[in-house]
Amino acid sequence: MAALALLLLAAACGPVPTPFKQAAPDRAANPLLALPDSVGVTVAPAQAGPPALTGPLADRTAERLRWAGVPASSGPALTGGYLLEGAVDWRAGAAAYVWRLSDPTGETVETGRVQADAQRAAFDAGDDAVIAALAAEASAAVSRALTPASLRAAAAADQGPARPEAVHVMEVEGPAARPARELQRALTALLDDLGAPLTDDAAEATLLIQGRLDAAPTRDPGDGASTPVTIEWWLLDADGAVVGSLIQNNAAPGDPVRDGFGPLAYDIAYPVADAVARSLGSQ
């Protein structure tokens, strides 16, 4: 990545780092935010569950994976890719998704089980909150399973940056205030939910998160139209040096520059929050 000349901004905060003075390092050298770039995953509809939930769950999980930087589809199988399949059920006040990830040869890579509190009626009806919770947990687990073992080992051995005492989410730069503000608020809220040590004062932070949104405004997106979106995230130490980076590319429905992201902001910010929280040992 070419050297960046972004001015780091933070509203109503103390002194913040000057513009970046170095190139963001390759993610392969940074276990903090190591996510796969080239591996594809086909998400099959879950078996043994209500159709109102299984189809949308596959779509939402694939969407979450794409925002995490993993090529994923809930449609035709990706050639030479991985397969995510499983089953959903409900018992004792919770919806559960038991999943299996297999490689192109059919060998099991990882298995897991995630769940979300849900009423039986919400489970049968495919309630959006239930789907979102299951997809978030499953996609995060699959992303970790696809991260090379060497990077996982490096992170476990604490070969990455030292654990910070305080994290501050700076303003996200972008073509419009509304979507940028939504991303900042979503990432802050998710980090808080995941137990990350947050601070409102950038001057007190030992880890700062800076984001930049690139999306072309659309005059009239029309029904069913989408807008290509690129979001770059950088993690900085207290001196402004880049210690981790992540790039997200996807298509957002409608015109987020004009109308904002709405609830999708949380889908976008989740893989970033999850990676940061895990690197800090918050989960």
CATH of the domain at 124: 3.30.160
pLDDT of residue 216: 76
CATH number, domain at 185? 3.40.50.10610
111 and 188, same structural domain? no
Ranked by mean pLDDT, the top range of 34-38, 87-91, 220-224 is: 87-91
204 and 117, same structural domain? no
Domain end, chosen from 114, 146, 178, is at 146
Integer CA distances (angstroms), 127 to 48, 135, 162, 258, 268, in order: 17, 12, 41, 28, 20
Residues 47-52 have a mean pLDDT of 88
136 and 75, same structural domain? yes
Q: Across the beta sheet with 242-253, what order do the strands follow?
A: 167-173, 207-215, 226-237, 242-253
Domain end, chosen from 122, 146, 170, is at 146
Structural domain containing residue 234 = 27-35+162-279
Domain tally, the chain: 2
Burial of 238 (0-12, 13-18, 19+ CB in 10 A): middle
DSSP annotation string for 95-132:
EEEEEEEE-TTS-EEEEEEEEEE--HHHHHHT-HHHHH
pLDDT of residue 98: 94
Residues 169-178 have a mean pLDDT of 91
Residues 70-86 have a mean pLDDT of 79
Residues 16-44 have a mean pLDDT of 46
- Enumerate the β-bridge partners of residue 237: 207
In contact, 41 and 83? CB cutoff 8 Å: yes
Lowest mean pLDDT among 61-70, 165-174, 190-199: 61-70
Is 205 within the bounds of a domain?
yes
Closest C-alpha among 195, 181, 203, 210 to residue 278: 195
243 and 226, same structural domain? yes
pLDDT of residue 96: 94
